[in-house]
Each structure stands twice: as C-alpha cells, then as structure tokens.
C-alpha cells in the first residue's frame, strides 16, 4: 500500500523556519493534510489540501506539494510549536487513509 | 460547537471483544464521514476505519479487516466500533474523528477529533 515517509525529527531555533517533509510516490497528485499533536492531546489540523489553513491556525504555517515531496513550513518558530507533526492523504487506489510516521519538532 | 466524546475503552484479554462509542454533536451527523484513528503507546497515528455520511460506504485498514466493524445510530448521533478477536497490538488510544468535507464519497481529512479512549489488550 501507499507509504508516506517523514523524518523522525527536526530541530530548529526559535524565530527560524522549520520545514517538515512528507515523501510519497507522486504525492504531488494527491491532496496532503497536516496535523500537529502535543503530548496527551488529540491531533489538530494545521494545513489541508496542500496549502490551506483552517481558521485559527497562524499564517506562519504553510504547505507545498510537488513531485514526490510535500512540505510543511513553519515560519518564525515559537516554543509552542514543539509537537509531533503528521502528514495524511486519502489513497484512492486502495481506499485507505494513510498517515506518515510523524516528525517530532524540537525547538532548541 | 462540534463535540466528539468517546467511551467504552478499557482492559480486555486477548481474543476478547469491546465496543467503542463516539457521541457526536454540533453538526449534521449524516452529512459527514466519521472515522476511527488509533495511536499505540509512543507510536504514530494509524487510521482504523471510516463510514461515509450517507452510511452507504465503510472502509477498513487491512490490520483490522474482518475483526472490527464500524456502525452508527443516527437517531443518537453516535458512532461505534465493534472490536472482536482483539490482539495485543490493538492496544492504543482510539480517537473518533469527523471529516471536514460534507457529502463526500470517502473520508478526506479530519477537522475535529475526540479526546480519545484507551484500549488495553492484555492477559
């Protein structure tokens, strides 16, 4: 079945830009959605349809998707952004929701 | 406001059964697909099952196909997950999630999640 590959961890200093990748075969042809999850809490949608933000999500969160890689970009990173981040797609060939393995964002 | 409240978790022996419930409110239940997503301790998110808003289509992960059944009671706006033949690797927090897209033929992405309920499969 379809596989989404994320780096296990990304570290960034406050105020810098964090980029979290999500790799998948021809993922650019799919709509990619991103969630963050803090310990002990439910996931929260931060980007949908590659680059759209739900209401209440800061403009610092943005996304892109092309070829075999989708990317979540967090500008001007804050300590409160520290969380696990997951990408997700709907795979129509196998009728499955697919999640990436998750990336732990550490703010140094 | 949208609210999703899971219940029914607990400790069960391998081979046993458990039924999870998710009481939904704050939206038109029959217009949106609903899903179950689980997270094993210290692990990532794993999709389990979905049902379309119409109730006509259900979807299952291969890991639970034939053992788990998703269903709902529209009069009570409640989603269920019947889990049979439980195994140790089914141990996880189970989240109920609402799809963001109305009247869709399949789940798309999740705009609201419940707080989760813990299922522990152990002897």
Q: pLDDT of A50-65, one tens digit each?
A: 999 999 999 999 999 9
Mean pLDDT of B50-59: 94
Res B13 pLDDT > 90 = yes
Nearest to B109 among A48, A100, A102 (CB): A48
Proportion of chain B above pLDDT 70, given as a percent: 100
Q: Among residues 29-88 of chain B, which lie with CB inside 8 Å of chain A?
A: 35, 37, 44-47, 50, 59, 61-62
A7's CB contacts (< 8 A; 6+ apart) are A20, A21, A103
Residue B51 and residue A94: Cα distance in Å, rounded? 15
pLDDT band at A12 (very low <50, low <70, confident <90, very high): very high
Nearest to B109 among A45, A95, A101 (CB): A45
**Is A14 exposed, middle or buried, given 0-12, 13-18 or 19+ CB atoms closer than 10 A?**
exposed
> Using one digit for the tens of pLDDT, what is the confidence trace for B21-51?
999 999 999 999 999 999 999 999 999 999 9
Contact B46, B54 (CB under 8 A): no
Strand, coil or helix: what is B30?
Answer: helix
Identify the pLDDT of residue A45. 98
> Using one digit for the tens of pLDDT, what is the confidence trace for A72-84?
999 999 999 999 9
Most B-contacting residue of A35, A41, A42 (CB-CB within 10 A), to test interface: A42
B99 to chain A: closest CA residue = A45
């Amino acid at each position: 079945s379809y596989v989404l590959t994320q780096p296990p961890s990304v570290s960034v200093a406050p105020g810098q830009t964090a980029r979290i990748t999500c790799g998948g075969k021809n993922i650019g042809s799919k709509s990619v959605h991103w969630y963050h999850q803090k310990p002990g809490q439910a996931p929260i949608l931060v980007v949908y349809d590659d680059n759209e933000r739900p209401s209440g999500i800061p403009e610092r969160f943005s996304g892109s998707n092309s070829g075999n890689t989708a990317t979540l970009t967090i500008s001007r990173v804050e300590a409160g952004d520290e969380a696990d981040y997951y990408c997700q797609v709907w795979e129509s060939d196998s009728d499955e929701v697919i999640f990436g393995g998750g990336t732990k964002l550490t703010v140094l | 406001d949208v609210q999703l409240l899971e219940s029914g978790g607990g400790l069960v022996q391998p081979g046993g059964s458990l039924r999870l419930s998710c009481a939904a409110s704050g939206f038109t239940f029959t217009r949106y697909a609903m899903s179950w997503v689980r997270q094993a301790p210290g692990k990532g998110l794993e999709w389990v099952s979905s049902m379309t808003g119409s109730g006509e289509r259900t979807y299952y992960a291969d890991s639970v196909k034939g053992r788990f059944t998703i269903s709902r009671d529209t009069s009570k706006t409640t989603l269920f997950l019947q889990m049979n033949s439980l195994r140790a690797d089914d141990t996880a927090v189970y989240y109920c999630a609402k799809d963001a897209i109305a009247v869709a033929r399949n789940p798309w992405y999740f705009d609201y999640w419940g707080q989760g309920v813990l299922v522990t499969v152990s002897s």
